Structure 1
Amino acid sequence: MNLNEVKAAVPGIRVAEPDIIKNWQENPIFRGKPDLKHKRLKAYRILESKQSDKEKIGGDNEEFLRSSNIRISFHTDVEKEFSRIHELVNRTNQLNFTKNRWPEDVEEARKLFEKEVSEEFFSDFGYIKVSDSYGDYGICGFYFAKPGYMQHFLFSCRIMNMGVEQYVWNKLGRKHIDIKPPTASDLNNPSKVDWITLCDDANAQDSHKDDSSLNSLQVCLRGACDLAMTSFFLKTKFETIEEFNYSVHPWEVHTNARSLGLYKDQESDLDIRTILEKTLGPDFNRYNSDIIQEKSDVYVISFSQEGFMSSYRHKETGLILSLRCMHMFPGTDACDADYTSLAYDDVKDFLTDTTEEKWTYFKENYEFIGGFRNSDIVKEQFQNDVIHIFTRLKHAQKKVIILGLNEKIGNLPELVKLWSSINSIVKPLAEAYEYDYIDINDYVKTDADLTDELGGAHYKRSIYKKFSDVIADCIAKV
């Protein structure tokens, strides 16, 4: 074939006449990345050694991997290693599942990354280090997750066929990836990777020490966005169960203390179960929790949601339940909405799954008693529910860590006042039960620690990292 035929057959290929050979050393096309420490040569020698050892045990890849002492670690200081990560994003192909490239200019890429992070509060990102008995592979992977999907998910081919990408994907919750072929690996195969050890720093000299007992601890995180953000850092260190707020249209299922009390009551009392079945709101089986099941080793709990629901008392039994609808009905308060004041015609277009019979039962059998901000009855019930939770976990001999609430910083005085009131109940109880209590006011000290809206509920990513470090230190005492 002549040169033009080659160009036609392979679009994008570079071709040249033979006279290019005499000056090829000066030609920028052939100029590679400087490698004065011969890292590529070392990598090829490692590969050669691994292949030889694999053949000695019969060529079984999983058996070989189990004998290789593979260690990985997750890191979040992306800014510090941005040049290497930029290289991975733009140069990897075989194990780059997303292939979303950044600008070639590093500073432009940095600005784009910072913009993407600032636009999504619940973004999660980090890089991966890998080592094994044969050597230290350095920074080999990068992920950038947004709610529901991966924006970036990629690895260097130097860790191909080690199961690293499958392990990381499982560890991060198997978020959706819009895979852009071709790729040299199937994230679903193998489905279980149990030959990799998680450590603090895979490239450290002592990364071989056995932390498996600590890393295998199951940690239940129960709260709202404070723990949802902190979980990004903790789930790369421990096995985690996450219990955060979610919606069951049109209701919000909150991780408040009352929901656990209700679940306990309806489990032990058939009359209460019957009452709850007649009551509007989500199926109360949704309020089941790992605190009830007692399967985790450690429980990290935040009570930040207590002030955002309205409470109702059953007239005959005195049973108290808390509700919050996603829809803001005219004439109701966002946090202390009195739904008993609304006629069925006011709500039927939005509460499409609520029958007139159920609404009538609710209005006739419940009385509105306010919310945490304005009802001593609600505060007393909250204290009783916290005591129930703490007592249950104490009897189960579980490690419990309480994340306190911001009561000083922000431009929403009603919010910090509310959280101060919650702290005044929770902190003395935590101390009485000898549970670890993290006072976040030791870390949230100025407006600079808050996100840009400065309300007081959301903090800079570095603050959540500090929370996770303190929690990890508490867990290490188990």
Structure 2
Amino acid sequence: MYQFDKIKLVVWDLDETFWKGTFSEGDIEVPNQNRRLIALLTDIGIVNSICSKNDEKQVMDYLKDQGLAEYFVFPSINWSPKGARIKQLISDMQFRPANVLFLDDNPSNLAEASYSCPEIMTGTPALLPQLLADAEKADHKDPEHKRLQQYRILEEKHQVRAEFSSNEEFLYKSNIRVDISTDCDANVDRIHDLILRSNQLNFTKVRSTKEELSDLFADPNVSCGYISVRDNFGNYGIVGFYAVKSNRLLHFVFSCRTLGMGIEQYIYNKLGRPELTIAGEVISDLSATEIPGWINQKTVDSSFSQMKIKKLDAHVVLVKGPCDLFQVYPYIANTELFDTEFTHTTEDGLVIESTGHTTHIVEALRLSKAQKQMVVDEVPFAHLDMYCDNIYRRDYKVVFLSILADCNLGVYRRKQTGEQLAFLEYIHPITDPSNWPGLISGEYPTSNFHFTEDILRKFSEKYEFIGRNTPEQIVANLDFIWKHLPKNCVLTIMLGGELYYEKNAFEAYMDRHLVHKKVNDAIRSWAGSQENVRLIDVNKYLVDQNSFYDHFNHYIKPVYYALASEMVEIVNEITGSQIKETSKAKMLFIRVKELLAPTYYKLRGVLKK
């Protein structure tokens, strides 16, 4: 459904849509209203791209001659089907399909796009007058076309990335430069916007007002600084901010525009690794104590390369779950070929951490569209993202799932009709009035949702708490999922850690190692008699307390490297791909370390003492 206020990207078909006529037949003309429309969209901060079946060079030459090429980024112009191309384009540009409008005169192309990206908005040329009218009424908030320039930089970066054999080599060649500045008052607007909007790389989640920030800047006991980044592809501007008092971080936040560049690790180590209490989920690991060598480097060293999966088609592997699965990504090259469904934040700031919960994966297929919409309409903290069903609809060869969410989240059932959803830690049921003060005040985790007593009361009238999933229920859910996967798809399950974490400070995790043991045993028993089910057991690499970083579910780097190795081996076996080892000495070292893991970790602990 068309919603102008949600549009961030417009993807254009060309023949009989952007211009009148068919390019291959000659005699085409771009209507003046379309020329005006792309200029207006750019002025208001909406980006334009192309997905068309034509000859790329001929079309781009024509657009350059017409003075129109400058308005488009990431053009996809070839003769292959549009559905997969649009999905890849949206992924490359780092948008959500719900913020994309695809315009095409061919209904079959629109249907194909909707199948590949269920949330995408689509329209025929008949929608253009309405789009123009809405654009004319909107504020011209980007007259300097800064947003377009950001995506021009991202486009160039994406083009060059393919020339390198690993992400790390790419980072070394990017010539990344990071500056720390302290004149924060002069940039309070940008800093305030950053801490307000960022969630995935906002480690403290403190949403200070501008007035509170100004007071912070003026406090002589607080050290504040903002981070600017530039590289060979352009200037990213202000992308981070920190505030330190008495060696404790009050703010530590970064823009997702620099995700994967290691900026947050660099700054954290430059600050001397001050005390940091991480609020909620973040998609970055600060456990590495070394400063990333590719930032502000004096010389280039690209001797180390990631494990690489070769000959892998896009969209045959799905990785679905919480941050434990995300942590292996730095060690695998070409992960852009994987489909991923991780914990994420919606536009409204709601953290969706149940995407990998087996109850939601089952409900995604069991419930009708109407049932899902009913739950979303009557539960303000529910979202359709919770019921993503790509796992069943796509022709995946390998699916990776984690059981961590099942062992953490509480499950609720609609009293009258039985629909289920998982939300927040099981230890504080939201249908129990004794927990309401803690949920309303934010004392308990809320996934960034702001509860009121009215919301809690209405939810409790319709839904009942049925507890955390038992081992038997998790196995039943996994069996349902396995039976409904595409034919010959291999279901790979990441088991939970069974080693007690002595430094645990969270009530919900006090017995988590015991819960994981029971769940793991049940899954091992079930998986032993099933075809096309694999297990990845982190417990092979958890030897002692030195295996942990800062949380029961967070481990040191060698553990994640070992898990990545297992994932790569499974993908290579099932898909027929092969790993390229560009640094054999490094890989041999890691392999030996894996085989001798107990000795390695114990010796590491002795040396630390």
Give the TM-score of the pair, scaled to structure 1: 0.52
Q: 1:385 matched to which residue of 2?
A: 477
- Deviation of 1:406 after TM superposition, in Å, equals 0.9
Contact 1:311–1:371 (8 Å) recurs in 2: yes
The one-letter amino acid of 2:481's match is: I
- Cα 1:382–1:403 change in 2 (3 A) is closer
> Are 2:367 and 1:266 equivalent residues in the alignment?
yes
Secondary structure at 1:336 match in 2:
coil
Select 1:313's aligned residue among 413, 424, 427: 413
State the distance in 2 between where 1:420 and 1:345 align: 31
Q: Is the 8 A contact 2:490 2:532 kept in 1?
A: no
2:532 counterpart residue number: 434
Q: Describe the superposition over 1:353-402 as per-residue Cα deviations: whole angstroms up to 9, x where unpaired.
A: 87988655422222222224xxxxx5544332211211122x43213322
| Contact preservation (8 Å) 2:175, 2:231 | no
Equivalent in 443, 456, 459 of residue 362 of structure 1: 459
Contact 1:344 1:356 in 2 (8 A): no
Which residue is 2:284 aligned to? 122
Q: Describe how 1:459-478 pairs up with structure 2 within 5 A.
A: 459-478=555-574
Q: Give the alignment partner of residue 457 of structure 1, picking from 549, 553, 569.
A: 553
Match of 1:399 in 2: 490
Separation in 2, partners of 1:336, 1:273 = 27
Q: Deviations over 1:137-189 (max 9, x none)?
A: xxxxxx969xxxxx9499999x9xxxxxxxxxxxxxxxxxxxxxxxxxxxxxx
CA, structure 1 residues 318+239, in 2 after alignment: closer, same or farther (shift >3 Å)? Answer: same
Distance 1:474 1:153, change over 3 A: farther
Task: Mark the runs of 5 or more structure 2 residues left unpaired by the alignment.
Answer: 1-161, 178-229, 238-264, 277-282, 505-509, 575-609
Task: Tell me what 1:341 maps to.
Answer: 432
Q: Which amino acid aligns with 2:543?
A: K
Residue in 2 aligned with 1:291? 391
Q: Tell me, what secondary structure is at the counterpart of 2:501?
A: coil
| Residue number among 272, 281, 287 corresponding to 2:381 in the alignment | 281
* Matched residue count: 306
Cα offset for 1:304? Answer: 1.0
Given that 1:261 and 1:385 are in contact with CA atoms closer than 8 Å, whether structure 2 keeps it comes out as yes
Contact residue 315 and residue 337 of structure 2 kept, 8 A: yes
Distance 1:430 1:124, change over 3 A: farther
**Larger CA Rg, structure 1 vs 2:** 1
Over 3 Å counting, the alpha-carbon distance change for 1:124 and 1:74 in structure 2 is: farther
- Aligned CA RMSD, in angstroms, stands at 4.8
What is the one-letter code of the residue matched to 2:406? Answer: E
Asked if structure 1 preserves the Cα contact closer than 8 Å seen for 2:352 and 2:385, the reply is no
Q: 1:273 to 1:75 in 2, by over 3 A?
A: closer
**Within 1, Cα distance between the matches of 2:518 and 2:176?**
47
Aligned runs of 1:165-180 on 2, under 5 Å? none
Name the CA shift for 1:310/1:279 in 2 (closer, same or farther; >3 Å). Answer: same
Task: Report if aligned partners of 2:410, 2:426 keep a CA contact under 8 Å in 1.
Answer: yes
User: Is the contact made by 2:332 and 2:564 (CA closer than 8 Å) also made in structure 1?
Assistant: yes
Cα distance in 1 between the residues matched to 2:494 and 2:477: 17
Secondary structure, aligned partner of 2:401: strand
Distance in 2 between residues matched to 1:456 and 1:386, nearest whole Å: 24
Q: CA deviation at 1:310?
A: 1.7
Aligned equivalents of 2:315, 2:273: Cα separation in 1: 32
Distance 2:511 2:434 in 1: 30
What is the match of residue 19 of structure 2?
Answer: none
Cα contact 2:306–2:331 (8 A) shared by 1? no
Cα displacement (A) at 1:86? 11
Partners of 1:155 and 1:99 in 2: how far apart? 21
Secondary structure at the aligned position of 1:387 is classed as: helix
Of the two structures, which has the highest relative contact order with CA contacts closer than 8 Å and spacing of 6 or more?
1
Contact 1:215 1:237 in 2 (8 A): no
Secondary structure at 2:404 match in 1: coil
Q: What is the SS of the residue equivalent to 1:72?
A: coil
Matches within 5 A, 1:220-259: 220-236=318-334, 239-248=337-346, 249-250=349-350, 252-254=352-354, 255-259=356-360
Unaligned runs of 5+ residues in structure 1 are 1-69, 79-83, 101-110, 127-142, 146-150, 160-197, 202-210, 325-333, 373-377
What is the aligned-residue identity percentage?
A: 14
Amino acid of the structure 2 residue aligned with 1:259? H
- Structure 2 CA distance for partners of 1:388 and 1:112, relative to 1, 3 Å: closer
Query: Is 1:95 the equivalent of 2:232?
Result: yes
Q: Is it true that 1:219 corresponds to 2:373 in the alignment?
A: no
Once the two structures are TM-superposed, the CA of residue 230 in structure 1 deviates from its matched residue by: 0.6
- Structure 1 contact 124–144 (Cα < 8 Å) conserved: no
Q: Residues 217 and 278 of structure 1: is their aligned pair in 2 closer, same or farther, counting only changes over 3 Å?
A: closer
Secondary structure of 2:421 counterpart = strand
Q: Given the superposition, is the C-alpha separation of residues 304 and 77 from structure 1 closer, same or farther in structure 2, using an over 3 Å criterion?
A: farther
Give 3-state SS (helix, strand or coil) of 1:476's partner.
helix
